[in-house]
Homo-oligomer: A and B are copies of this chain.
């Protein structure tokens, strides 16, 4: 008998609601016979907030903590002031569940047209720190709204937090092409940048087979356009990882193909899997959002739970689907069904 896993499902806002059901179906089908899933749905996001003012109530967070993993759609709604849902829901989950590895693979699939004239072979993973840096919510403002206003944002970085994600990146590199590029801005952010570099150098000594180099964030945005195939594992902080993975999504033909995992690699709390795209209010409700990234998040969830073969089924189905039909206009449902049929 196969084990049953409880998955928290947070479809969230906009197209998040449209793509998440396809991720669930892909999960089921790929894991048939090896794992079963029960779903615990959570009504969190803009609608809920507008209805009763709740963002992420404590008791719901506690229930989420008891699940085995989380599938998330997207969070964000133009009716709500920027930051409220992002910091109160999405980032709160990442921080409360100590999801310190934000794992974001970028791959140019056969059949997808990159906006680059000569993209080459693109296949890298960004290992983005997920619980520190400028995302920690430190900072404030004085004399708000006056000509004397001062607003600060504080990036807090700890050796503890950096070392664990650095170790994760080296382990990952060992399973890949054994090359890490640390991205930071150590010529300006000398305190944090210097610490990152020292820790990478130190941990790197334990992995003599893995080479590592360094790129400033500004230069890295150039390489993503001029020579993206140079990258294998990109290791970086929370903000730079946010920026680079969106640019990477564009370079591999759109964020519609990019999934991500917010991973608590020590397994004290559930990890969370989500497409890197947002709630896309401009196309929400039209039934045209591409569910591929959500489906790929399901594959990452399966890998995380140890079902590598089931995850491979999804990857193979997605690759075949894109290669054959990637350039045709399809509805969410069509893409979902086409991929499911191949799993």
What is the interface of chain A, defined by CB distance below 8 A to chain B? 76, 82-83, 86-87, 91, 113-118, 134-135, 139-141, 143-160, 163, 185-195, 198, 217-219, 221-222, 224-226, 239, 242-247, 249-251, 254-255
Q: Which of chain B's residues has its CB closest to A222's CB?
A: B250
Q: Which of chain B's residues has its CB closest to A189's CB?
A: B153
Q: Are B153 and A154 in contact (CB under 8 A)?
A: yes
Q: Are A115 and B147 in contact (CB under 8 A)?
A: no
In the complex, chain B residues whose CB is within 8 Å of the CB of A113? 117
- How many copies of this protein are present in the complex? 2
Q: Are A149 and B139 in contact (CB under 8 A)?
A: no
Q: Are B226 and A115 in contact (CB under 8 A)?
A: yes
Q: Are B76 and A187 in contact (CB under 8 A)?
A: yes
Q: What is the distance, in angstroms, from A293's C-beta to the closest C-beta of chain B?
A: 14
Q: Determine the distance from Cα of A37 to Cα of B195 in the docked complex, in whole angstroms.
A: 45
Q: Are B246 and A151 in contact (CB under 8 A)?
A: no
Beyond A115-B118, A149-B159, A153-B157: 13 further Cβ-contacts under 8 Å? A83-B190, A114-B117, A115-B225, A134-B153, A134-B188, A139-B155, A149-B158, A151-B195, A152-B156, A188-B239, A218-B245, A222-B249, A226-B250
In the complex, chain B residues whose CB is within 8 Å of the CB of A148? 158-160
Q: Are A242 and B255 in contact (CB under 8 A)?
A: no
Q: Which of chain B's residues has its CB closest to A253's CB?
A: B226
Q: Are A152 and B191 in contact (CB under 8 A)?
A: yes
Q: Which of chain B's residues has its CB closest to A143's CB?
A: B159
Q: What is the distance, in angstroms, from A117's C-beta to the closest C-beta of chain B?
A: 4
22 A-B residue pairs with CB within 8 Å? A76-B187, A83-B190, A83-B194, A115-B118, A135-B188, A141-B195, A144-B195, A150-B156, A150-B158, A152-B155, A152-B191, A152-B192, A153-B155, A153-B191, A188-B239, A188-B242, A218-B242, A218-B243, A218-B246, A221-B247, A222-B246, A222-B250
Q: Which of chain B's residues has its CB closest to A113's CB?
A: B117
Q: Are A221 and B194 in contact (CB under 8 A)?
A: no
Q: Are A194 and B247 in contact (CB under 8 A)?
A: no
Q: Which of chain B's residues has its CB closest to A251's CB?
A: B225
